[in-house]
Chain A
């Protein structure tokens, strides 16, 4: 017979099952607590990381918007401007900046003068405020930049600038006094000579002190009265300025204009220049029968590999190897241009003839060191004109000037 009491004392299944359940529950609760704590930590970390990522992505999109807006502003595009980059949207608005700089009157539209100062008297290009907004998640990035359109500053100090001796023949007139865009003399007696654009200048500036002007025939030189000395008069020597390239003349960085070069062999000279024309080859050659040059802008006849200083034996930069290889490194020739009316700036390595009845209002610069530069014959006019030079500079797009930047 089985003893019931003994069987109860040993391993009663129900009691042990109950205790095991409690133990399992306790362990589960503990593990659950640990798990949830770890989870909340991770979740918090993730959220922080996401917020930082959102902020950075929104910032980057807003910056992209500003860059887009600057390019659009230069080309007179429309605002507000919207766009997306990598799926992040931005919106850029434009408004004119207004401030009272001189304390006189009220606030006026802010302008950036060519000397880099801000004013509310209308001097220079207007300043606009571009505000770029981009949103990512809960983060909104706002960036602001003030910009003014860029203008190429064409600053030439004579009607004719050359790095070589000049022979004037025929009835040519080289006039350094300031003229209107139409070629009318403004005030020939004004002796102001501070270097500002709208002043009377010398007729000719020579950048090599050993060079000279030979004024033959019935050629005429006119200038600011302070330069009206010597024989021939109106010639100033400035050996401290030697232009080596069109970029040098225009105050740009070397190579800035390379993208605009038209190969000489492929170039069919148009009679009318518009904007900036850069020919890597001879132009208006006499052999081709001459050319009229009309229009407004900047005409460049230059070999980008040509540096006049490397061809001048007296210059420290003289390079005999290059000087003896004119096919590759030699100057390009502005040949016989003999008709039309051109307003702006002509930059040529070497000038053969400015001839016939051509009228040039603005300035002419010859880079070459070669002493054969002849300007003359016919009744050609070269008249210095600040207005024409400024108009020529305005025809060439340069990136807007960035003035100030802020972010929320």
Chain B
């Protein structure tokens, strides 16, 4: 009698309960998975935006590097609300024509195209640095901290990169400020 097993009704009831639990579990897992994926995307977007701003800031700090005194006048060639361009003589050969001088190019511009932050080197076409960019905003300040539109007197540049993921889960702002030392120093 002990080995008779479950009745059909018992089995059905158990299966229904297990089914309901299974469906709930799958739904729960799917929701969790989606959350993880979305958070991953968001974190990735944040990290990419941060890395892009860091790269831009580091490169921009070298603007106007002119150890031979040949980068004359305004070292920043473009100062715009949403783009920046500059020249520098990174390999100290007296001109600003070289590309990839070891690590850096000598004519660089950053701007936004579509939803990509673009970097153009040596007058060439731009290559995307990162995606998910809503907008890129620059502000230029002189030595007294006043906003200026004259590239020759710019000493500080504030960079603001607004980004968002395609799902719109994660959006935010990465901000950095750069001292353009070579616009302050003699050469």
Residues of A within 8 A of B (CB): 4-5, 8-9, 23, 26, 30, 33-34, 37, 41, 44-45, 48, 52, 55, 97, 99, 101, 116-118, 146, 401-408
Q: A30-B29, A403-B67, A407-B61 are in contact. Are A116 and B50 (CB under 8 A)?
A: no
Which of A8, A30, A44, A403 sits near B186, CB closer than 8 Å?
A403
Residues A408 and B67 in contact, CB atoms below 8 Å apart: no
A229 CA to B25 CA, complexed, in Å:
109
A26 CA to B25 CA, complexed, in Å:
9
Q: A41-B39, A101-B68 are in contact. Are A404 and B182 (CB under 8 A)?
A: yes
Residues B69 and A52 in contact, CB atoms below 8 Å apart: no
Size category, B interface: 35 or more
Minimum C-beta distance from A208 to chain B (A): 35
Residues A118 and B69 in contact, CB atoms below 8 Å apart: yes
Minimum C-beta distance from B27 to chain A (A): 12
Task: Write the chain A residue with the least CB distance to B32.
Answer: A34
Q: A30-B28, A44-B43 are in contact. Are A404 and B1 (CB under 8 A)?
A: no
- Chain A residues, Cβ within 8 Å of B32: 30, 33-34, 37
Taken residue by residue from 151 to 179, chain B's Cβ proximity to chain A (1 for < 8 Å, 0 otherwise) reads as 00000000000000000000000000000
Minimum C-beta distance from B130 to chain A (A): 14
Residues B1 and A5 in contact, CB atoms below 8 Å apart: yes
Which of A23, A30, A99 sits near B94, CB closer than 8 Å?
A99
A30 CA to B39 CA, complexed, in Å:
18
Residues A4 and B103 in contact, CB atoms below 8 Å apart: no
Name 22 interchain pairs, CB-CB below 8 A, sorted by A: A8-B4, A23-B21, A30-B28, A30-B29, A37-B32, A41-B43, A45-B47, A52-B50, A97-B67, A99-B67, A118-B68, A118-B187, A146-B187, A402-B184, A402-B186, A403-B185, A403-B187, A404-B65, A404-B67, A404-B185, A405-B62, A407-B61
Residues A52 and B186 in contact, CB atoms below 8 Å apart: no
